[in-house]
Amino acid sequence: MFEIGIVVYQGVDLLDLAAPYEFFQWLALRPLAAQPIRVRLIAESNKPITTRDGLTLQPQAIFADVPALDLLWVAGGDPAALQREKQNPKFLDYLRTSSRDATYIASVCEGALLLAEAGLLDGFKATTHWQFLACLKAYPKIEIAAGHPRFVVDDRAGKKGIRVTGGGISSGLDEALEIIRHFAGKQTAEGVQLVTQYYPDPPVMGTIPPVGNCPL
Q: How does DSSP classify residue 210?
A: P
CA distance 212 to 187: 40
CA distance 151 to 210: 19
Query: Is residue 109 among the annotated active site residues?
Result: yes
Phi, psi angles (nearest 5°) of residue 42? -120, 135
* Contact (Cβ atoms closer than 8 angstroms) between residue 129 and residue 109: yes
Q: Which amino acid appears at position 145 of this protein?
A: A
DSSP secondary structure of 112-159: HHHHHHTTTTTTSEE---GGGHHHHTT-TTSEEPSS--SEEEE--TT-
Closest CA to 181 of 168, 198, 200, 205: 198
* Active-site option among 39, 105, 109, 169: 109
Q: Taking the CB of residue 105, how many other CB atoms lie within 10 A of it?
A: 26
Q: Which residues are catalytic?
A: 109
